[in-house]
Structure 1
Amino acid sequence: MERNAKKVAVIGSGVAGLAAAKYLLAERDPTSDASIFDVTVFERHSEIAGIWNFTSPTEDDFQTPMYPGLETNVPRTMMTYKYCPYLEDVSLFPTHDKIKQYLEDHSTDIGDYINLNSETT
């Protein structure tokens, strides 16, 4: 991190939060190749994936809308990051656990920037 990097908070580690964090971290100063942004992702759950992280009211005060057996109503081809394809064995309409795994796989390189169990108000 460059000393003059602009601090940016990303709220949530769901689909949009992870994409925003990756984009911001990839931005470089053309004169020094230093990071332009000092990124911190705040996730209130104990794991990443936003609403794709299945929780229940008994285990989490912030229950997500996921339920066992949920499949997307949008094909995975419309939910794919350009630089991170889904595995071949994932169905066209993935279950919530496959999407969560995809997001976890997608974010391994930015894990140090994600603060879990960090609710923002």
Structure 2
Amino acid sequence: MTVTFSAEERSDKTVYIHEAMAQGYTRMLKMPLHLLSDEQLRDEHGRAWQFFDMAGKAAKAKAEAEKAKHDQHRNGFEEAAKPLIKWLAENVHPHHTVIVTSTNAELLEGICHSPLKNS
């Protein structure tokens, strides 16, 4: 099937290919884009589209992996905190708080709290 692009369509496809190249796409045909036949330009544009499609899928997979890792950390944190929360509930009153760092834990008691009002 013969493909015929208008000058505007050729320009749009060329711009799209250049955008893909700026993102790391390597062209299959090394001759300048303006010398490609319409069929060659269609094929090169299709490969550039596939490049963007695969990059999008890779970005989505990376985001899903990061979310899974975050969820795992959050779940681990919640499991680690439960015994301390239980201890607080059973041993001190609700005005106590705990600050935990990687090297110590500090039990604090709130005696007085007065929020400051904006003047």
Q: TM-score range by the shorter chain?
A: under 0.3
TM-score normalised by length of structure 2: 0.24
> What TM-score do the two structures reach when normalised by structure 1?
0.24
* Structure number with higher relative contact order (C-alpha < 8 Å, ≥ 6 residues apart): 1
**When you count helix as a share of all residues, which structure comes out higher?**
2
